[in-house]
Copies of this chain bind each other. A is one copy, B any other.
Amino acid sequence: MPHQPLPTNNQAGILEPPPGSDSLYPEPRRLFENHPIHLRELRPLNGQSILSARQFSLAQVVELCKLAAVLEKVEITPYHPLAGKIVVTAFFEASTRTRTSFESAVLRLDGKIISIPEARITGAAKGESLADIGEMFNAYCDLVILRHTETDAPEQILGRLRVPLINAGNGTGEHPTQALADWYALLKWNNALAAPPVPGTPKLQLGILGTPGSMRAVKSFLLLALRFKDHISRVTVISEMADPFGQDLSEDLAGAGIDYAVTNDIQHHLDQLDVIYMNSIAFLGDSYKTLDARFKLNRSSPLKPGAVILHPLARKEELSTDLDDTPHNLYFSQAHGAVFIRQALLTAVLGRIDRLPNQVHTVD
C-alpha cells in the first residue's frame, strides 16, 4: 500500500496545532509520515491487562506513539474503532484529570463509558472485596480502568475479573499509561528517539526530581526510560531520600546496565540535564508528601538551553507558571498527548487496530 498523505480536519479544534504555541506542542506528524505503523508489534496487546510499564517492549512504545500521532492528526470518531465496546472507569482514588483523560479517549473512539468517579465512597457495600467487584464488572463491560490507593488492588480485582484491566495508578505501584504519555511527548519533541541511535549523535541526560520508589508516575517513567537506554547517557535522580529506589527498581536499573546517579544537590546538576521529570506528590505509607522546597523550578532556574521539563500534573508550588510560555515547557504537550496515547492503547488492547482509516499507513 503506497503511503498517502493524511487529511487534516479544519473543523475539529484538536487536529490543528494550537495557534501561537508551536514550541509548546511539537508536531506529531513527523512521527508517522514515511514511517508505517507495524501492527505485528501491537497485536500481542489484544486482550492483555496493562499493569506495569515493564510490559512494554521498546518497539511497542514506539508503535503506540506513532499510532497516537495518527490519532492526534486524523479525526477518528467517524471510523468508530470501539463501536459496541463499554469501558468502566473505576476510581477508588479520585482523579478528575486521569479519569476524564481516559473517558475522552474512549469517547473519541466511539466507545461507551460507565463512570464511577468515587468508587470508594459510593454504595452501601463499602466493604465489598475487589474480587467481587471484578466478578460484577465481567457482565458490565469489555474493559476496566482502575485507580486505587492500594498497591495490590489490580492483583485483587484480577482474582475474578475476566476482561482486560488497565492500571491507572495503584498506590505506590505504577502508572503505566502516564509513562506512555511522557514518552509520547519526548518522541514528538525529539523524533530521533523513535529509531535506533545514529552513531556520533549526542545522547540525552535525564534528570528526575523526586523519589521513584514512592512516586508511581516517576517509577513508571523510569521503567520506560530503560527501554530507551541507547539514547540516554545518564539518569540523575535528585531526591532528599537516601535510597530513592525500592529493591525491585534497583534490580531493574542494575539489569538494564544504565548509568545512573543519586544526589540531593540540585544546583550542581540542573544545567547539564536535557530532560527533567518532576512530580508534586510522593506517597509515604498512608500519607502524601510534597517535594522539598529546594526542588522547585522557575524561570530563574539554571536550565540548560533546549532542556525540556515534564510533569504529570496537577502541579503545586514546585513548578512555576512563569515557565509556561518558555520552550522548556513540554508538560503541556505531555498532558495534551495523554488522550491520544490512551486512544492508541485502548485500540490495541480491545483488538481494534484493524479499524483504522484506510489512508493510515500500516504494515504487518
Chain A positions within 8 Å of B, measured between CB atoms, are: 11-14, 18-19, 75, 77-78, 83-84, 86, 88, 93-97, 100-101, 103-104, 107-108, 112, 114-119, 122-125, 127-129, 131-132, 135-136, 138-142, 162-163, 281, 288, 313-316, 321, 332, 335-340, 351
Contact = CB atoms under 8 A, between A and B. Distances in A.
Contact of A313 (B11, B108, B136, B315): B136
A97 B136 contact: yes
A124 B288 contact: yes
A164 to B, nearest CB: 9
B116 A96 contact: yes
Given A108-B86, A313-B136, A94 B142 contact: no
B86 A142 contact: no
A321 B315 CA distance: 43
Given A117-B122, A125-B313, A139-B336, 16 more contacts: A18-B162, A75-B84, A78-B84, A88-B100, A96-B119, A97-B125, A104-B114, A107-B114, A117-B117, A123-B314, A124-B288, A124-B314, A129-B321, A136-B335, A139-B335, A139-B340
Contacts of A338: 139
Nearest to A140: B104
A335 B135 contact: yes
Instruction: Across the A-B interface, give the 5 residue pairs with the lowest CB-CB distance, nearest first.
Output: A125-B314, A128-B314, A96-B123, A104-B140, A77-B84
Contacts of A281: 124
A195 B124 CA distance: 37
Contacts of A138: 13-14, 18, 336
As for how many copies of this chain the complex holds, the number is 3
Q: Is the interface of A mostly helix, strand, loop or mixed?
A: mixed
A135 to B, nearest CB: 6
A13 to B, nearest CB: 6
A141 B83 CA distance: 19
Contacts of A337: 139
B112 A95 contact: no
A313 B107 contact: no
A143 B219 CA distance: 34
A281 B125 CA distance: 10
Contacts of A11: 351
A139 B315 contact: no
Nearest to A316: B127
